[in-house]
Amino acid sequence: GPMKLKFSKRIIRRIMTPSFFVFIFLIGVVGSLAFGLSEIINNLAFAPILSMAIISLMLGWILANSRIPAWLAALLLTVIGSISVIVWVGNLLIPANNLFRVVVFWILGNLQQQQEIIQNIAPLQLAASEITFAIRKLILDLQEWSRSLVSDNPEPIITATLLVWGLAVWIVSAWAGWMQKRRANVILSLIPTSLLLIAAMGYTWADIAPMILLLFCLFMLLVLTWLNKLENHWVKAKIDYPVDARIDSLVWAISITFILLTTAYFIPRISVRKMVETIQEITSPQAEQAQPFMESLGIRSSKPSIGRFGPLLTGGLPRAHLIGSGPELSEKVVMTIQITGGLP
């Protein structure tokens, strides 16, 4: 009833804060990066790299919201990110889970003094061998990739590719979350993400659709950050302002940003020459019919000039032909033919 409605409204008001919308648009930024990289990099799936980026973004956001020093946050993000990427690339999640369960079960058996569990270490050895084999395979792949870099023909190794790009996405996502929450600086927070996506897409000449999404989120983050600073200033100065000002500003910002980015996306794909040629083909019969009337009004149609060499480019066969040989050939002896003996 009414109580549930009031409770839901309170929850919505607490959740739908400016920080919530900022975080959503940051997810859009790292999502555009993940989508763009998954489209141009072999064996890089969209869902895993997006999950990695969102987790990194969230950790950077949480650590920035705490009172932890910057150097300690950087150390924690580096360690957690390295472990997470290695577990993802090496498919270590299932072996690590099995090892964790076996170790916990064995520790509980020791605490309860159960001799059967204490003496039976075969499950522990099996789980340890699984994770050891996976880690060894990962190390061998990295060694092979490092040796191929020195050779003349480097070969792509899936493990190394996923490891490098996974760490890169983790770092730029954590930086975006940390810098935006701690400094509220959109430009500084999104420079690494933008440069990574621009460099990858510029090298491959890929479609710019992910960049459009990134720019849209960038503009919206700029607007939200500006509105948050204004509202904080108004609150501190005890200035009354309409509550709907934020919604109206966001609606106008979304509309203007959408129009600008749509125009920027489609204008390079529009050929003015083709448009003019199409219009000329459509209006050519009507123009020929109207030519006498237009000439009676003193209007003369002229074709576009192609310069002084225009007459030379006119198609067709030459109208002047030379019949017979020229006079210079008639005066010159070209060859002499003689028949000597041997005739009957």
Task: Assign 272 to helix, strand or coil.
Answer: helix
pTM: 0.70
Which residue carries 């770092």 as its tokens?
171
Would you give the distance in Å from CA 151 to the centre of its chain? 30
- Alpha carbon of residue 132 to chain centroid: 36
Question: What is the CB-side half-sphere exposure of residue 321 using CA atoms within 13 A?
Answer: 4
One digit per residue, pLDDT tens: the chain, 344 residues? 566 666 666 666 666 677 888 899 999 999 999 999 999 888 889 999 999 999 999 999 999 998 899 999 999 999 999 999 998 988 888 888 888 888 887 777 777 767 666 666 777 778 788 888 888 888 888 888 888 877 777 777 888 889 999 999 999 999 999 999 988 889 999 999 999 998 888 888 777 888 888 988 998 898 888 888 877 777 788 777 666 666 777 777 778 878 877 777 777 666 556 665 676 677 666 666 666 655 655 555 555 554 555 555 555 555 555 555 555 555 666 666 666 655 55
Question: What tokens were used for 263?
Answer: 């125009």
DSSP state of 140: H
Cα–Cα dist 60/180, whole Å: 9
Which of 299, 323, 303, 321 minimizes the C-alpha distance to 313?
Answer: 303
pLDDT at res. 61? 94
Q: Check if the beta carbon of residue 213 is closer than 8 Å to that of residue 32.
A: yes
Give residues with Cβ within 8 angstroms of 48, minimum separation 6: 88
Give me the pLDDT at residue 58, please.
95
**What are the structure tokens assigned to 94, written together?**
């299932």
Query: DSSP code of 267?
Result: G
